[in-house]
Amino acid sequence: QNVSKMLDFYSQFNPSPLSIKKFIDFGLNASEEKSFIFLRKELPVRLANIMKEIALLPDNLLRMPSVIAVNDWYIRSFQEILEFEKKDPNPDILEHFCSELVKIRNRHSDVVETMAQGVLELKESHDVDSHTEHSIQYFLDRFYMSRISIRMLINQHIHLFSALIFGGLLERAPGPNKSKYIGCIDTQCDIVSVIRDAYENARFLCDQYYLASPELILNEIHHNQLEKEQFINIVYVPSHLYHMLFELFKNSMRAVMEYHNTSDLFPPITVTVSRGREDICLKMSDQGGGISRSTTDHLFKYMYSTAPQPSKSDAHTVPLAGYGYGLPISRLYARYFHGDLVLLSCEGYGTDAVIYMKALSNEANELLPIFNKATSRFYRSTLQTGDWSNQATHIGDRQISIHT
């Protein structure tokens, strides 16, 4: 069909990363027409780049029903946006564009779970070798990052220009608390209140399941007197920050509650917030007994998290449920604007998780996967031959194979 021709065409272009600052400038100045013109090219480019990569997945994964379903959603959405390729941006078209974006966003709302299901289907029907596992890890990081970025673009357009969407109405509502939002970006995101919010919601789940929960201690580091009275603000997407913090709190709480299960005193979770010239750092420290280094390495692996599927029917495991895809996805949210999320654990004591965010909105650029020759080479290559001793002790982690 001619979809594949259009895919070839649009995948030749690299996605154009925007910084948070550009998103803001765009939100303040750009007209709906300008946004429309940008998106009708940029969305197909981003979609085509990742769709080309889906096509490179191992055949047996591509044959899984869930993966086929996801791929079909992408094809449909790609075609729907191409409908606007040659249309004049008159008010009717602009409105139709908005409603198509809403439709597309809804269609893709379960992509993460569906892809995870596809990986499960593969594991249940095939032996997955370590090369396949490595490819899947590489792919899912890029695929989910691409999805985060596409949803960001769609959300910004909808929030800014769709009068139909409740967000659009809410944010234009008059009132004393004039919105400091531009789309889903908060220009004065109060980090401390996001931390408290995520803590309270995780604590609610924790209390439900364990009938108790660790306290929160919050430290804000201020380097000079002037700053002292104000909380640390940042220009950021609060929903992304909330997502990461909620995930980390759940993990820390579970660790603390399980580790101290014989006592009724639970050491608090400490969160420290600091602002440097380059980064804003958020460190969450628990005394939940920590995890081994070999486990730490695994916590960001999709295949590992999918592994010991806590029996889905077992309601017992739901409340602070295991390491689903929560950590790898949270790290993608951090990396999306060139931040990071790292874990550092002392086995036998506790774990620190650090979220880094760029302090300057013009440095907070989107980090986007691009499809090119190097990408296809990656999927074809085998793993490097080991050149350190003792790799055999890491079997299942790394595999020694002859590079071809």
User: Cα(28)–Cα(35) distance, rounded to whole angstroms?
Assistant: 12
Q: Which residues fall within 8 angstroms of residue 128, CB to CB, at 6 or more apart? A: 122, 136, 303
Q: How far is the CB of 247 from ligand W6P (least distance, A)?
A: 8
Q: Which stretch binds ligand W6P (CB under 6 A): 177-185, 247-255, 269-277, 389-397?
A: 247-255
Tell me which H or E stretch contains 65. helix 65-82
Q: Which stretch binds ligand W6P (CB under 6 A): 187-195, 251-259, 261-269, 270-278?
A: 251-259
The count of chain residues that interact with ligand W6P, using the rule CB under 6 A, is 12
- Active centre residues (catalytic): 243, 247, 250-251
Tell me which H or E stretch contains 399. none
User: Cα(369)–Cα(169) distance, rounded to whole angstroms?
Assistant: 34
**Residues from 191 through 210 that contact ligand W6P (CB under 6 A):** none
Count CA atoms within 13 Å of residue 187 on its CB side.
13
Q: How far is the CB of 347 from ligand W6P (least distance, A)?
A: 9
Structure-token pair, residue 229: 């009275």
**Which single residue brings its beta carbon nearest to ligand W6P?**
255
Cross-strand bridge partners of residue 200: none
- In the three-class reduction of DSSP (H, G, I as helix; E, B as strand; rest coil), residue 218 is classed as strand
Sign for the pseudo-dihedral over CA of 174, 176, 178, 180: negative
Question: For residues 58 and 326, which CB has a smaller minimum distance to ligand W6P in the complex?
Answer: 326
Q: How far is the CB of 197 from ligand W6P (least distance, A)?
A: 18
Structure-token pair, residue 287: 């005394």
> Judged by CB under 6 A, does residue 270 bind ligand W6P?
no
User: Cα(98)–Cα(85) distance, rounded to whole angstroms?
Assistant: 15
Of 353, 357, 359, 364, the residue at the interface with ligand W6P (CB under 6 A) is 353
Q: Are 324 and 330 in contact (CB under 8 A)?
A: no
Structure-token pair, residue 105: 């966003």
> Judged by CB under 6 A, does residue 245 bind ligand W6P?
no
Q: How far is the CB of 334 from ligand W6P (least distance, A)?
A: 13
Structure-token pair, residue 145: 């990052």
> Judged by CB under 6 A, does residue 288 bind ligand W6P?
yes
Q: Which stretch binds ligand W6P (CB under 6 A): 91-99, 151-159, 226-234, 246-254?
A: 246-254
Q: How far is the CB of 213 from ligand W6P (least distance, A)?
A: 14
> Judged by CB under 6 A, does residue 366 bind ligand W6P?
no
**Residues from 291 through 320 that contact ligand W6P (CB under 6 A):** 291, 299
C-alpha gyration radius of the chain: 23
Q: Are 15 and 49 in contact (CB under 8 A)?
A: yes
> Judged by CB under 6 A, does residue 252 bind ligand W6P?
yes
Question: For residues 20 and 299, which CB has a smaller minimum distance to ligand W6P in the complex?
Answer: 299
Q: How far is the CB of 250 from ligand W6P (least distance, A)?
A: 8
Terminal CA-to-CA distance of the chain, rounded, Å?
35
> Judged by CB under 6 A, does residue 343 bind ligand W6P?
yes
Q: Are 300 and 327 in contact (CB under 8 A)?
A: yes
Question: For residues 49 and 251, which CB has a smaller minimum distance to ligand W6P in the complex?
Answer: 251
**Residues from 13 through 72 that contact ligand W6P (CB under 6 A):** none
Q: Are 151 and 111 in contact (CB under 8 A)?
A: no
Which residue's entry shows tokens 């779970």? 113
How many helices (H) and strands (E) in the chain? 15, 8
User: Cα(227)–Cα(244) distance, rounded to whole angstroms?
Assistant: 26
Of 67, 255, 329, 354, the residue at the interface with ligand W6P (CB under 6 A) is 255
Of 182, 286, 336, 357, the residue at the interface with ligand W6P (CB under 6 A) is 286
**Residues from 161 through 190 that contact ligand W6P (CB under 6 A):** none
> Judged by CB under 6 A, does residue 257 bind ligand W6P?
no
For 69-98, give one letter per residue: b (16+ CB within 10 A) or e.
ebbeebbebbebbbebeeeebeeeebeebb
Q: Which stretch binds ligand W6P (CB under 6 A): 96-104, 207-215, 282-290, 396-404?
A: 282-290
Q: How far is the CB of 286 from ligand W6P (least distance, A)?
A: 5
User: In the complex, which residues of this chain contact ligand W6P (CB under 6 A)?
Assistant: 248, 251-252, 255, 286, 288, 290-291, 299, 343, 351, 353
